[in-house]
Structure 1
Amino acid sequence: MALEDVLRLVHVLGATVLFGTGIGIAFFMAMAVRTRDPRIIAHVAGIVVIADTIFTATAVVLQPLTGYGLARVVGWPLNEGWILLSLALYVVIGLFWLPVVWIQIRLRDMARHAAAEATGLPPGFDRLYRVWFAFGFPAFFAVVAIFWLMLTKPSIMLLGLN
C-alpha cells in the first residue's frame, strides 16, 4: 500500500470517527437527559466524557497531520481555497467543541451530585444542557461542509491567497 493510500485511509477513518462519535455522543446524551434521572444522566455523561477523550481527541490531532501529509504527497498547494476553507471550518469546530467538553464534564458532575444526594437536577443543568445542545449544530454543519469540500475540491478564491 502506497503512502498516499495509507494517508487517505487514516484521514477518512479520522473524519468518520469525528463525525460518528459526535453524532453518537449527541444522541445518547440527549436520550439520557430526556429521562430526567440523574443516575442515568451521570452514567451516560461519564461515558460521553471518556468517548470524547479517547476517540474525538485522538482524531482531532490526527486529522490535520494526515491532511497535511496527504496534501504534500498528492501535491495540493496548502493555499488552495478548499483547503484553507476546510482549515477555517476545522477551527470553528474546535471553538465549539472545546467548550462542549467542559460542559459535558460539568453536566456529568451536576448529575452525579444530584444522584448522590437523591435530589433533582440543579436549576443550572437545563441551561447548560441547552448551550451544549446548541453548540452541536454549527459543529455538525461545519463537518458536513468539510466533507463536501474534501469530496468536491471546488475552486475557491479566498482573499487572493490562492
Structure 2
Amino acid sequence: MLPLVLKTIHILGAVLFLGTGLGSAYYKLRAGLSKDVAVIAWCDREVVRADWLFTVPAGLTMPVTGLWLVDLYKLPLHTPWVWQGLAGYAVAGITWLPAAYLQVRMRALSAAAQRDGTPLPPAWHRMQRTWALLGVPSFSVTLAVVWMMVSKQAVL
C-alpha cells in the first residue's frame, strides 16, 4: 500500500508543479500583453502566491517521494532514467530559482507602478523577458522528467 500512496503523492506533485508553472506562465504573459498595470500587478502578486502555495510544496515533495520509491523498489541510483530524472529535476530547480526571484522583484515593481499611477519601468520589461526565457528550459526539462518517470526510459 505504501508504494501506491507514495506514487500518488509523487504524481500529484508533478501535476501541481507542471500545472502551476504552465498556468502562471500563461496568465503572466497574457497580463503583460494587456499593458494594464493593475492587471499586471494583480497577476504578479498571484503568481508569487501560487508558487508558495503549489510549486514550492510540490517541488519539495517530489524528490522525497521519488527517492523513497527508488529505495522501496530497490532501484540503483545509477539506473539511467533515475539519475537523468534527478539531474533534470536539479536543472529545473536551478532555472526556476532565479525565475522565482525575478517574480518577486517584478511583483514589487508592478505594485509600485500601480500605487504611483506610473507605467511599468524598463527593468520590469527586462525581467519579464528573462523570466520567460528561464521558463522554457525549466518547463521542458520537467516534461522530460515526467516522461522518464512514466516510461522508465532515459532520454540520453
Same fold, TM exceeding 0.5? yes
Aligned to 2:56: 57
Residues 37 and 154 of structure 1, relative CA distance in 2, 3 Å threshold = same
What are the equivalent positions in structure 2 for 1:61-140 lying under 5 Å apart?
61-140=60-139
TM superposition shift of 1:124: 1.3
TM superposition shift of 1:154: 2.3
- 8 A contact 1:96–1:135 mirrored in 2: yes
Query: Between Structure 1 and Structure 2, whose CA radius of gyration is higher?
Result: 1
Moved over 4 A (4+): none
TM superposition shift of 1:89: 0.7
Q: What TM-score do you get using the length of structure 1 for normalisation?
A: 0.92
Aligned letter for 1:50?
R
TM superposition shift of 1:121: 0.7
Give me the CA root mean square deviation: 1.3
Structure 1 unaligned residues grouped into runs of 5+? 158-162
Distance in 1 of aligned mates of 2:101 and 2:75: 36
Aligned to 1:160: none
Aligned letter for 2:88?
L
Q: What TM-score do you get using the length of structure 2 for normalisation?
A: 0.96
TM superposition shift of 1:79: 1.8
Aligned letter for 1:4?
P
SS at match of 1:77: coil
Aligned letter for 1:97?
W
- 8 A contact 2:109–2:120 mirrored in 1: yes
Offset from partner CA, 1:78-98 (integer Å, 9 cap, x none): 221111111111111011110
- 8 A contact 1:33–1:41 mirrored in 2: yes
- Identity in percent: 36
Aligned letter for 2:50?
A
Aligned to 2:10: 11
Structure 2 unaligned residues grouped into runs of 5+? none
- Does 2:24 match 1:22? no
TM superposition shift of 1:156: 7.8
Residues 14 and 41 of structure 1, relative CA distance in 2, 3 Å threshold = same
Q: What count of residue pairs does the alignment treat as equivalent? A: 156
TM superposition shift of 1:155: 6.1
Q: 148-157 or 112-121: which moved more?
A: 148-157
